[in-house]
Amino acid sequence: MSADARFWDKIAPKYAKSKIRDEDAYRYTLERTRSYLGAEDSVLELGCGTGSTAIELARGVKRIIATDLSATMLEIGRERAWDAGVGNVEFQCCSAGTAPEGPFDAVLAHNLLHLLPDLEQDLQETAARVRPGGLFISKTPCLGEHRSSWKYWMFRALIPLMQLAGKAPGHVDFISIRRLETAVQNAGFEIIETGNSPAAVPSRYLVARRR
């Protein structure tokens, strides 16, 4: 088991009980994502956590394979899906690079890309899981924005301390919007929607179609 998997397993019970920090932004993200999905779509979600997004979107698609590093997160997700009466979500324990190959009509990665060890390589592998014409939909904290801001330097100082204390995962990438969008395009996608969600950086919502 990787160090990151152990970290997410450890915090899973507390994570599952925590409230969404910005409910309006989360609902907006769900509705935008839902608008791109069809009833016959086969969807892969990377970094699904406790399954909240997969369960919310499940009734509008044919099936969702929801994946995560943390077996504990996935077990909570299975219980939530059962309680919600959702039967078309399959939970699998794996990394982004070892996820099912598909091809899928859409691949989702919400609040994940900044935690991947190699953004560019992982996006190349993700693209291989999307059918031609299919979609990649993500929302990413772009922590590399506004390097002149005190918040940027505060995060830069805090995250290593949090990692030492076991309060943050082992890899956190300070991605800029430019790097994110360039990596998505270089992986073989055409960006069809991109914007900050909510209005302020750092969360970047992005929809791209595989060429």
The arithmetic mean of pLDDT across residues 74-97, rounded, is: 98
Report pLDDT for 118: 95
The arithmetic mean of pLDDT across residues 95-112, rounded, is: 97
Tell me the pLDDT tens digit for each residue of 165-184.
Answer: 999 999 999 999 999 999 99
d(Cα 99, Cα 69) in Å, to the nearest integer?
A: 10
Sequence ranges of the domains in the chain: 3-142+175-210
Report pLDDT for 22: 86
What sign has the CA pseudo-torsion 124, 33, 171, 52?
A: negative
d(Cα 176, Cα 190) in Å, to the nearest integer?
A: 18
Is the per-residue pLDDT at 86 higher than 80?
A: yes
**pTM of the shown model:** 0.95
Instruction: Write out the DSSP string of the chain.
Output: --HHHHHHHHHHHHHHHSPPS-HHHHHHHHHHHHHH--TT-EEEESS-TTSHHHHHHHTTSSEEEEEES-HHHHHHHHHHHHHHT--SEEEEE--GGGS----EEEEEEES-GGG-S-HHHHHHHHHTTEEEEEEEEEEEE-TTS-TTSHHHHHHHHHHHHHHHTTSS-S------HHHHHHHHHHTTEEEEEEEESSSSTTEEEEEEEE-
**According to CATH, what is the number of the domain 3-142+175-210?**
3.40.50.150
d(Cα 69, Cα 46) in Å, to the nearest integer?
A: 9
Q: CB-hemisphere CA count at 13 Å for 2?
A: 14
d(Cα 163, Cα 161) in Å, to the nearest integer?
A: 5
Report pLDDT for 193: 97
d(Cα 182, Cα 195) in Å, to the nearest integer?
A: 15
Q: Give me 142's structure tokens.
A: 């772009």
Tell me the pLDDT tens digit for each residue of 7-59.
Answer: 999 999 999 999 988 888 899 999 999 999 999 999 999 999 999 999 999 99
Report pLDDT for 199: 59
Tell me the pLDDT tens digit for each residue of 126-140.
Answer: 999 999 999 999 999
